[in-house]
Structure 1
Amino acid sequence: MKTVVSLFIGAAIITVILLGFAKFRQDTVFEKPARPTSPPLSAQKTPEQTAPVTTVATGLEVPWAIAFLPEGGDMLVTERSGSVRLVRKSGGLDPNPLLTIEDVEEIGEGGLMGVAIHPDFPQKPYVYFYYTTGQRGSQTTNQLVRYTFEDGAFSDKIVLIEAIPGAPNHDGGRIKFGPDSFLYITTGDSQEPSLAQNRNSFAGKILRVTDEGKPAPGNPFISGGGNPLVYSYGHRNPQGISWNSSGNLWATEHGRSAPTGLDEINLIESGQNYGWPTIQGDETRSGMVTPKRNSGPTTTWAPSGAAFVNNSLFFAGLRGETLYEAAIKGDNVTQLKEHFKGQFGRLREVVLSPDGMLYVTTSNRDGRGSPSNEDDRIIKIDPNKL
């Protein structure tokens, strides 16, 4: 009997000790830490991965430029080979071209490039194109033409500016109407760098003209000292232009081909000399303008189309295969961000739609990319999610 009682008392003591130890375990600071609640790195997404990105059209052949029709928001898209395509706002590429410009010569980087719609469309139902055409003597040339566009059909082609020097490379090609309702045209140096410094040549310039292709009032050389169509000079191969909310014109420009680098972002002002080929990168010289930002001597953006969203200049990178975002404050570039690096391949055009979305074209079928089955494409990006 004593043995049973002793066993009972011993068991009770052990139970009390174990309960006390358990309480100690609950209260002690040596408790095992909780697992982290954040997802593993493999599950975490960058803003670019979570940003809404929509493929609007596929199956294009080297799309170069986009212009939005004011009625309905459908897009006119140029293909370098000479076709003008219609892409619906709702998505989808019409199977047949709206227009094929027969005298387009797709030579190297040249071909059908820029497109612009008259700011008073449809009251003035005009669409403008910039393209490379045949040789005049020994010189390949580019020209600006205007078509009438009514009821979904093009007619009445007029050549407004001809004999712009052209070449297999360095043809410029961007055309846009500015906030002053004049048409701005970027031209390359046509592989003759010295022409960029010749104010009487169309090569290596930004031109500013009326809707009839005449010198715009207020152009810097309208009274002499250079061609009256010239707005700025000393450019190598500018391919992107856009205006910020203050009305200032900014441009992207291809730097040297060899070894690499020194691509540019420039603030464009009337009559200014942007230095090519005399200065590059951070170099300075009296009477010449140094870029607000350059890519450095070892990095190549190969910048093309550009569009402002608030105080950021978005521009496409061809060799860089990146959508770049340059933060602008006053007259300076304060920061440069990279989006979608390598995700879509070579990027050519960036344009802001009437509903505030960015539309970007790939250029993977231009002979320098690695096209997928869907290329070339137009993708839509919400800039507010970047």
Structure 2
Amino acid sequence: MPDKIYIQPLTFAPSPQAFQGDAIPLAGGMVYAREFAIVIRRDGRIAERAIATPETIAEVLAGLPGELGPEAEAQWGNLRMAHPPLSLGERTIRLDQPQVMGILNVTPDSFSDGGKFLDDPEEAHSHAAAMHEAGAAIIDIGGESTRPGAAAVWEGDEIKRVVPAVERCVAMGAAVSVDTRRPAVMEAALAAGAHIINDVSALRHDPRSLEFAAASGKPVILMHAPGEGEDLHAGAAYDNVVFDVFDWLAAARDRAIAAGIKRANVILDPGLGFGKSLADNLALLNALPLFHALGQPLLLGVSRKRMIGALSNEAPAHRRLGGSVALAQRGMDAGYQMLRVHDVYDTVQARNVWRGLRDAALTDFSGLAAD
């Protein structure tokens, strides 16, 4: 197995002037990284590790073995890459700040809402409108539960669930993503006006999905999940969950680009909760900034997930708001561009306060280091 390299942001600054410019804005956003670990992995284990800042990293990269140099330079460029906004119909979604994606499940067995939005289309519409008015940049509509043990759904039923919800959300002026693994559902949802394909199988579930997504010209969200069949949670085995997920997402990115999907249209999601233990999830959450080295916009989906219950006396899904907002803020602090959440109002409020703090830091010179 060849050696692999990773450049991981370690420490952060309130603003670049705090270190006389020796910090970079991660992915062109509002989070400034100061120190970076340059990690060489050999046979699944960390073999070498160095620390650098923007002022010293060129020297460190120049001393790497020749076969690792190009990848290291690419990752360093990716960490500094500013992503262009997404043009979604009449909506433009900027990626230089966190955006909130509201979840609308039209399924009978959602872990978070118990299927009430499938049984009552008017309530689903009202909920979507409330999320839109609360500041959701995107409404993510799904017609199949992907929780562990969920039953498979026939694509015809999934289409019947999803398309009316897409049509109503588009009619209210919302940008819409469709959460599906099936190309027939993708096609029907896009025809109804959806703007983004969000595939938790990273376009692997159906061999036709990759070709369809490329032909559509739409942005795609590719999520890490170890399972290859109906059960996305199956088959998890990690040497190092952080670097294994990074490598998997790099391969998913490359596969999508090779199929004809524009690189700017590829959004990546580390897949918290899918085929991962609590320890795996916590390791990924503590390493979120690393994934900017893949050079793509990033989505974090941790709202109301099982890990929050595991850390809070088994709180049920509807009582995980505090943990959900805390983890959303973790994503903001890591520079993630999209936060997929159930509780839009609270997350948007947290985001607005977070942004106020970041804006104020840029004009606060009290922390300037002496020359």
TM range (shorter): under 0.3
TM-score by length of 1: 0.27
Higher strand fraction (1 or 2): 1
Structure of higher CA gyration radius: 1
**TM-score normalised to structure 2 length:** 0.28
Higher relative contact order, structure no. (Cα contacts within 8 Å, ≥ 6 residues apart): 2
